[in-house]
Structure 1
Amino acid sequence: MRSTVSYRTLAGDVRLEVASAKIDSHDLPYSRISREQQTVALHEVERARWDEARFEVRVTLPEREIAEGPWEDVVCVAVLAEGATNARSVTRLAPTQQGAWTGRVHMARAMHRNRAVLTASVVATVGGVPGRVIGGTERPWYLDLAARDPRRERELNIIEVDFRDGPEQWLRPFKEAPWLVDATGDMPTVRLNTAFEGVIDLLNGSGSPVEKAMRDVVAAQIAEEAWTAMFHSAVTDLDFDEDGTPRLPSGWRGAVLRSMLPEVVPAASLESALHEVHKRRNDGQSWSEMQASIQYAAARRSKVAKGLRDAVRVLDRVDEGARR
């Protein structure tokens, strides 16, 4: 953090690290914590219900600058916040002999919904005025309750909004839809309709094995629609060489095409597959026939088949138990 306040602030870096995590009393696998991405994935942690996550954090400060600077009563704190729920908590860290500041950050499951941000701030007395922020992390950690993999950049932006009475009037004609996918912007967006009874509770809850299986099926269906919409958006936004040869677009559109084209046009190079898709879309030759391949590629990425198989197995077990 680089401040523009009237008092002197730290020029050196303040670095934050999540060393380990627990869900209730169970260790979170290290595969769910990415120091490179600075993200922790908390969705589907092998527990249907959990109440609290605890994170062991470590913050390193520019100790020499602090020792030589005009600051007194230096304190380092970890700040956990989420805009979707307006939740915010501050944890005071303790200095160690190695020059780092460490502590345990508690995250109550009931207080968070989607993706929380974890940062560190350095507070001190400056010029006789206590409680002034003199430094902090420039790159936060994300604690993601909706992610199975610790990825910093999300493939989708998920927004909860009331289609019937919310502020976005253009959504009113779609008030009976449980969700809508928009793949026209800088990041694909899924809008979940809070006015559609039960959809938010289903997607954000845990519940019984049947509810979990149903949630996975619905989530896979949303993801399949999103992948399909992203593919169609990507093939309408191609770049071209001087001779008219299509090139992959930048950003998420290029990533989507690289991922799906090998299955949409099998046994072809990426360049050949892109050219084939562009040709079929423009001249209409067999474009409708290609939709099955696009749908298949989207379903594979969304794990629709796995979710459906798991749901059928759960329902079979419940049905078998009811007959006994």
Structure 2
Amino acid sequence: MKIYPYKRLNRPIALRVTSVSLRLPDGTRDPLDISAFSTQQQTVALGVAGDAWVSARIGLSATLPPGSTAADAPWSDVRVLAVLSDGETNVRTSARLRQSAPESKDWIGDIDVLRDDHVGRASLEVYAVATVDDVAGRSIAETDTPWVVDAMANEPLRGLALDIQQVDFRKSSREWLRPYADAPWIVDASGRVPTVYVNSAVEGLAELLGSRSGGIENKVHELLVTQMATDVWTAVFHSAVGDLEIEPDGSPVFPTDWQGEVLREMLPYVVPDVHVEEALRTVHRRRTGDAGWVELQTRIHFAAIRRAEVTKSLAGILRGLVQMNQGTES
């Protein structure tokens, strides 16, 4: 939890996306329907038109917490800014929102997203800044969870996006895969999105992963997918905490791409009962310090199990096997 040496609002800003439109190469604008963004997922998907767009305009509505416009508030000159940050391209875009009516807590406006500036996911947040104690530009409130703006996705899904490729590790043109010829799959978390390479040289593996035929094969398929998901969550978490930007004071900076999404999903299980920013600082201290990192591996494994929903999947698999056995005996 951050400590501020001045008074602030004690609740976060509520942010909503109200509209999305694309500007096409011929200069026309194509309004997208509401399926392009999800309030529940807090995600905008701009990939419905592929690469055939030049820019997107996202309509926004932000509601400040109670007390933001009170006559006796300890601040003045309140301004509300929308900020779009892309950790992969290091592009940061801001837009000033306007008050919908005098004394209203609602602020509206839009922010433009240039297609050439983004190759994946960006983070959209809103900040309220004001003059406090005669110091201008101090943050008095912000969104607690950023929206995700995905330049390539055609569905507004916040969850971790994966690229799954089937490759014969022994013969792959990717020479780095060849030493892992005995592994059924390998997770590569170094790219724009994490990639799972499935070893097609393992006899029957590809068929099982693609099985939807029912029976025992389907149960084995579910078990393999659950194990793979656990491995993926573990790998991407370690990749995320191992590639953090660090402030001059030594504090880690929350990533704004898929790595940030992974951390927000897993940190509540790794370091429970604290804000995610404090949890990230705790993990960073243990990873770079003299002690505590080894002990944290059990929590990381537990977090991966929770995110992969292993218990739920395993219970369903076991129930299915029991029913199959009972049917065979009868």
- TM-score of the pair, normalised by structure 1: 0.55
Q: 1:14 to 1:269 in 2, by over 3 A?
A: closer
Which segment drifts farther, 310-319 or 240-249? 240-249
Write the distance in 2 (CA, Å) between the matches of 1:309 and 1:153: 23
Query: Does structure 1 retain, via aligned residues, the 8 Å contact 2:226–2:308?
Result: yes
Write the distance in 2 (CA, Å) between the matches of 1:262 and 1:288: 18
Q: 1:178 to 1:209 in 2, by over 3 A?
A: same
Q: Are 1:281 and 2:297 counterparts?
A: no
Give the % identical residues: 40
Q: Are 1:310 and 2:326 counterparts?
A: no
Instruction: Give the corresponding residue for 1:290.
Output: 296
Tell me by how many angstroms 1:295 deviates. Answer: 0.7
- The unaligned stretches of length 5 or more in structure 1 are 4-9, 20-34, 41-138, 143-148
Kindly provide the CA deviation profile for residues 210-268 of structure 1, in whole angstroms up to 9, marking residues without a partner as x.
Answer: 32222122111111111111111111111222211122123111111111111100111
Residue of structure 1 aligned with 2:307, choices 301, 304, 307: 301
Residue of structure 1 aligned with 2:204, choices 187, 190, 198: 198
Q: 1:205 to 1:37 in 2, by over 3 A?
A: farther
- The unaligned stretches of length 5 or more in structure 2 are 1-22, 36-42, 49-150
Helix, strand or coil at the partner of 2:198: strand
Instruction: Give the corresponding residue for 2:110.
Output: none
Counterparts of 1:220-239 in structure 2, within 5 Å, are: 220-239=226-245
Q: Are 1:264 and 2:270 counterparts?
A: yes
Tell me by how many angstroms 1:166 deviates. Answer: 2.6
Instruction: Give the corresponding residue for 2:9.
Output: none
Q: Are 1:166 and 2:172 counterparts?
A: yes
Write the distance in 2 (CA, Å) between the matches of 1:16 and 1:271: 34
Instruction: Give the corresponding residue for 2:218.
Output: 212
Helix, strand or coil at the partner of 2:186: strand
Query: Does structure 2 retain, via aligned residues, the 8 Å contact 1:203–1:219?
Result: yes
Q: Are 1:151 and 2:162 counterparts?
A: no
Tell me by how many angstroms 1:153 deviates. Answer: 8.2
Tell me by how many angstroms 1:18 deviates. Answer: 12
Runs of 4+ in 1 over 4 A off after TM superposition: 13-19, 139-142
Write the distance in 1 (CA, Å) between the matches of 2:324 and 2:220: 13
Kindly provide the CA deviation profile for residues 181-209 of structure 1, in whole angstroms up to 9, marking residues without a partner as x.
Answer: 11122321110111111111112220114
Query: Does structure 1 retain, via aligned residues, the 8 Å contact 2:160–2:262?
Result: no
Q: 1:296 to 1:165 in 2, by over 3 A?
A: same
Counterparts of 1:56-95 in structure 2, within 5 Å, are: none
Kindly provide the CA deviation profile for residues 78-122 of structure 1, in whole angstroms up to 9, marking residues without a partner as x.
Answer: xxxxxxxxxxxxxxxxxxxxxxxxxxxxxxxxxxxxxxxxxxxxx
Kindly provide the CA deviation profile for residues 270-307 of structure 1, in whole angstroms up to 9, marking residues without a partner as x.
Answer: 22211111111112412111111111111111111111
